[in-house]
Amino acid sequence: MKRIRPSRWSGQLLQARRGAGIPAARTPLCLAIRCQSTSSVPASDSSTLDSSSSASPPPPPLPAPSFDRAPQSAKLAALHARLSLSKKIPLQTLARALVTPSADANPNFNNANLAYLGSTIINFHVYEYLVCKWPRLPMAILYEALRAYAGDESLQQIARRWGVEAAAAPGEEVDPGLLQWKAGEGHVVNTRWGYIRSEAAKGKAWRRGLSSRVVLDSDFGDQVSSSDPERLEYNALQSEAFGSVVQAVIGAIYTHCGRDEAKAFVKSHILSRELDPSKLFQFKLPTRELAMLCAREGFEPPIARLESETGRLSRTPVYVVGIYSGKEKLGEGAGASLDVARRKASMASLKAWYLYSPGNKVRVPSDMMEQGAKPWTAPHIDIGEII
Name which of residues 130 to 169 contact other proteins (CB under 8 A).
Answer: 138, 140-141, 143-144, 147-149, 151, 153-154, 157-158, 160-163
> Nearest approach, Cβ of 41 to other proteins (angstroms)?
29
Can residue 380 be called a binding residue for other proteins (CB under 8 A)?
yes
Give the dihedral of Cα atoms 79, 83, 89, 90; nearest 10 deg.
Answer: 10
Size, binding site for other proteins by CB under 8 A: 100
- As to burial, measured by CB atoms within 10 angstroms (0-12 exposed, 13-18 middle, 19+ buried), residue 181 is buried
Residue 334 pairs in a beta bridge with 320
Can residue 213 be called a binding residue for other proteins (CB under 8 A)?
no
Q: Which is nearer to other proteins, 106 or 357 (CB)?
A: 357
Can residue 125 be called a binding residue for other proteins (CB under 8 A)?
no
> Nearest approach, Cβ of 148 to other proteins (angstroms)?
5
> Nearest approach, Cβ of 32 to other proteins (angstroms)?
32
The torsion angles phi and psi of 72, rounded to 5 degrees, stand at -85, -10
Give the H/E segment covering residue 303: strand 302-310
> Nearest approach, Cβ of 108 to other proteins (angstroms)?
29
Give the dihedral of Cα atoms 100, 103, 105, 111; nearest 10 deg.
Answer: -20
CB-based contacts of 336-341 (< 8 A; 24+ apart in sequence): 338/306
CB proximity list for 306: less than 8 A, separation 6 or greater: 319, 320, 321, 338
- Figure out which of the listed residues 74, 188, 196, 214 binds other proteins, where binding follows CB under 8 A: 74
Contact (Cβ atoms closer than 8 angstroms) between residue 243 and residue 236: no
In one-letter notation, the amino acid at residue 25 is A
How many C-beta atoms lie closer than 10 Å to residue 92's C-beta? 24
Site for other proteins in 330-349 (CB under 8 A): 330-334, 338-340, 342-344, 347-349
Site for other proteins in 298-317 (CB under 8 A): 299, 303-308, 310
Q: Which is nearer to other proteins, 141 or 174 (CB)?
A: 141
Can residue 81 be called a binding residue for other proteins (CB under 8 A)?
yes
- Figure out which of the listed residues 106, 353, 366, 367 binds other proteins, where binding follows CB under 8 A: 353
By CB under 8 A, which span of 33-41, 43-51, 296-304, 365-373 interacts with other proteins?
296-304
> Nearest approach, Cβ of 203 to other proteins (angstroms)?
20
CB proximity list for 174: less than 8 A, separation 6 or greater: 64, 65, 167, 180
Q: Which is nearer to other proteins, 200 or 353 (CB)?
A: 353
Can residue 291 be called a binding residue for other proteins (CB under 8 A)?
yes
Site for other proteins in 224-283 (CB under 8 A): 265, 267-269, 271-275, 278-283
Q: Which is nearer to other proteins, 98 or 112 (CB)?
A: 98
| 333-367 residues labelled b (16+ CB within 10 A) or e (exposed) | bbbeeeeebbbbbbbbbbbebbbeeeeeebbbebe
Q: Which is nearer to other proteins, 105 or 236 (CB)?
A: 236
Q: Which is nearer to other proteins, 224 or 340 (CB)?
A: 340
